[in-house]
Amino acid sequence: MGLTIEPVAGKAQLTEFIRLPRRLYQDMPGFVPPLDMERREMIDPRKNPFFSHGRAAYWIARRDGQAVGRISAQIDELAGPQTPEHLGQFGCLDTADDREAVSALLRAAEDWLKERGCRRIRGPFILSINGESGLLIEGQTQPPMLMLPWHPAYLEAHVLGAGYRRAMRLLSYSLDLSKPLSRSRSHTARIPEHGFSVRSMSLRNFGEEMEIARSIYNDGWQQNWGFVPGSAADAKGLADAFKPLLLPDCGFFICSEDQPIAFAFAAPNIFDISSDIGAAPSPVGWLKLAWRLHRKRYRSFRLVFIGGKTAYHGTGIGEIALCETIQRVRRYHAEELVCAWVLESNAALIRALERFGFSAKAVFGLYEKS
């Protein structure tokens, strides 16, 4: 039968598409499968708010009838000031060590995008840069982290071999929370000095708080490479996704004259409590997970967002937010804080992280082709 590329049609094939990475990677060192339920929420048109402003298609590669890979192609109607014209995207790229399969899957995505007027392809994203982004190229044996992808080391070479170039690196930085933080006092003192105040996000009104954060994000991130504005539906989707993980004080605003001008949000790492129950838990497994969510004992946190409005760049709010985040996460006796992802071009944030003692932990690649 050789190699065939099949479009995903129907619930059964979508379920196969979701489960395929854990079948391909199950014996590889460092791979820990995420929950199937979480993966479905990321790609199912009925669940992901991406589909309020975008569209996507999925394919499975089979060799002699056996599934050996998968891919998505998507078009996002939202665009930032630096988004190239006629841009399409790919994502969900997971395959066996099979260069022919990778090339064929990428061609399927390219053809679908070309038929819809796209002239450039960029990825991988699930399903946009505001979701899970990048191809893991360094750090395969690091502990898994919330909403950071895992890929085998061979996959980048196959993507490059299909005519793609690496367009940007996304960096993951880690801080050992057992070590003293020498800069904490000085930066805490600067909050009143600059006329800033800090308030925690309200968990009771988290949807409304995420809408405030979205407005700050759309202002302050717009000059970043690859920026795509977040929609109201995206903010609601994030609020719903993080709701089971919410912990008091882990999200906060920095305010000027009581008006939010910056924010940071750290989420506990769900892998810390789910890794041993599998991707599709039994009823007993779900009970274990519910109990662990209730106990709120996590080894690590991910700093998902940190930044402020453009008018406040250069005022020190980034380091104030870092210091505040570290102090708040330590209240939960966490051992590690991961800041990810960080654009390799974001020199200011990288300098701040390194001054606080963060070190590079993993690297992800984004790729383009005309």
How many domains in the chain? 2
How high is the pLDDT of residue 1?
Answer: 65
Whether 67 contacts 16, CB under 8 Å:
yes
In whole angstroms, what is the distance from residue 234 CA to residue 48 CA?
8
- Domain of residue 166, CATH code: 3.40.630.30
Q: What percent of the chain has pLDDT over 90?
A: 88
Does residue 205 share a domain with residue 153?
Answer: no
Whether 5 contacts 59, CB under 8 Å:
yes
Domain ranges, residue 261:
176-365
3-state secondary structure of 213: helix
Tens of pLDDT, residues 321-370 = 999 999 999 999 999 999 999 999 999 999 999 999 999 999 999 999 99
What residues in the chain have per-residue pLDDT under 70? Answer: 1, 182-194
With a CB cutoff of 8 Å and minimum separation 6, the contacts of 114 are: none
How high is the pLDDT of residue 180?
Answer: 79
Does residue 228 share a domain with residue 153?
Answer: no
Q: Point out the domain boundary residue: 149, 170, 191.
A: 170
Does residue 101 share a domain with residue 213?
Answer: no
Q: Point out the domain boundary residue: 153, 170, 187.
A: 170
Tens of pLDDT, residues 270-310 = 999 999 999 999 999 999 999 999 888 999 999 999 999 99
Determine phi and psi for 261, rounding to 5 degrees. Answer: -125, -10
In whole angstroms, what is the distance from residue 210 CA to residue 217 CA?
10
Does residue 187 share a domain with residue 165?
Answer: no
How high is the pLDDT of residue 185?
Answer: 46
Does residue 139 share a domain with residue 192?
Answer: no
Tens of pLDDT, residues 168-185 = 999 999 999 988 775 554
Does residue 182 share a domain with residue 164?
Answer: no
In a domain, 317, yes or no: yes
In a domain, 110, yes or no: yes
Does residue 275 share a domain with residue 239?
Answer: yes
Does residue 244 share a domain with residue 157?
Answer: no
Q: Point out the domain boundary residue: 150, 170, 190.
A: 170
Does residue 195 share a domain with residue 342?
Answer: yes
Whether 260 contacts 217, CB under 8 Å:
no
In whole angstroms, what is the distance from residue 246 CA to residue 267 CA?
7
In a domain, 149, yes or no: yes
How high is the pLDDT of residue 191?
Answer: 63
How many alpha carbons lie under 13 Å from residue 253 in its C-beta half-sphere?
A: 23
In a domain, 92, yes or no: yes
Token pair, residue 340, equals 């990810």
Whether 356 contacts 181, CB under 8 Å:
yes
In a domain, 370, yes or no: no
Whether 268 contacts 245, CB under 8 Å:
yes
